[in-house]
Amino acid sequence: MIARLYVDNYKCLSNFECRFGHINLMLGANGSGKSTVFDVLRGVRAVVTGTSPISLFRESTLTRWQKRDAQTVELEIAGGGGIYQYHLEVEHEIGQNKQRIQLESVKYDGGLIYRAELGETHLFRDDYSEGPIISGDWTRSSLPFLGPRHDNTRITWFKDWFRQKLLCLQIDPVNVKAIADEAEPVLDAHALNYVGWYRHRVSTDMSATIDLYNALKEMYEEFRGLTLEQEGGSAQHLFARLGVKEEQKGRPEFVRYSFGEFSEGERALVILYTLLQLVGDPETTLCLDEPDNFLSLSEIQPWLLRLREAVDSSGSQSLLISHHPELINNLAPRCGLVFERRQNGPARVRPFDAGTRDGALTPSEVVARGWE
């Protein structure tokens, strides 16, 4: 799980620090920096996994009111039996939109296991002894190109965590495709490749398939499951089988619907319930931006309760951004983080505190009145 994030000189995050628990609700006005935190996490993930060079930290992301040409990101990640500390410094050539990695390092329980500086990468073994030195490319991290080594298993765990265990999503059910040409191991930032990811991650896991079936059966009284069917070549099409009660026959007639025929809200719900299957893994960090979009109150509440139960029982992590009253009332008193910006300045974060109001107002009402 992510224990600490420090960011300097990235958009509205200047000398910004935030500590997280197993579950947190990030709330605050629009433009206060909540989604920017997720942008940073996606950027670091892209650097570490090699899905994109450091151009995600482009010049336009520099804090506008500062004149410095370097950005800094630090992450503390609890997992793999210890604490990982990641440090990244990106240097910009102002006016040229060019970036390079000035410094990148990974520590495990305080001991150095990777360091790249000025294009030279130093590797260290699990016992912290010095390993090989290799030349690198200043415009990208060397981490994606390091293969598994028996004497540096910690770096392998670190990279795998970013690739497989960290998900930062803002679900866009409108544009999700119902057909996937291939199985996809990674869910993209808007879950547009959900079917390909479902094909890779869930359909081959019997326990996850059963759990998802049981969850969706509570939503649809005559739900009979999701199936993948060949569409031609390697493509597969996701269908749902549902019962429709025929009044004349007095019993349900089972029909199938393409995932693409579901409403946007139904697609979002299926994706959200599928994600719950991941939260049972204690090493998973699930970041969701406005998961309540497209959902009714009666739909978001049971999903939220299941999420809390899953995080509490497994010890995984979920970071949520929402303005929804149900999420505020449920999560803010226990684990709310309030983001604030004054006069378009740097973002700051503090714990939620509804104050003492004799229980007359709910947390969401306190927020709505601007009293928090």
Over residues 259-284, the pLDDT tens digits come to: 999 999 999 999 999 999 888 899 99
pLDDT of residue 205: 79
Let me know if residue 267 belongs to a domain: yes
Residue (of 367, 341, 336, 352) closest to 20 by Cα position: 336
pLDDT greater than 60 at residue 357: no
Mean pLDDT calculated for residue range 364-369: 87
Mean pLDDT calculated for residue range 122-145: 91
Let me know if residue 193 belongs to a domain: yes
Instruction: Tell me what the pLDDT averaged over the chain comes to.
Output: 91
Let me know if residue 326 belongs to a domain: no
At 279-299, the pLDDT tens digits run 889 999 999 999 999 998 888
- Amino acid occupying residue 99: Q
Let me know if residue 192 belongs to a domain: yes
pLDDT of residue 158: 97
Let me know if residue 247 belongs to a domain: yes
Mean pLDDT calculated for residue range 308-320: 95
pLDDT greater than 80 at residue 131: yes
Most confident of 51-65, 262-276, 350-364: 262-276
CA-to-CA distance for 198 and 345, rounded, in angstroms? 41
Tokens 């699990």 correspond to what residue? Answer: 126
Let me know if residue 268 belongs to a domain: yes
Domain holding 266, by residue range, is 170-277
Q: What's the total number of domains in the chain?
A: 1
pLDDT greater than 70 at residue 355: no
Let me know if residue 87 belongs to a domain: no
At 68-94, the pLDDT tens digits run 999 999 999 999 999 999 999 999 998
Q: How confident is the model at residue 245 (pLDDT cuts 50, 70, 90)?
A: low
Mean pLDDT calculated for residue range 26-43: 95
pLDDT of residue 83: 98
pLDDT of residue 250: 61
pLDDT of residue 211: 83
Let me know if residue 161 belongs to a domain: no
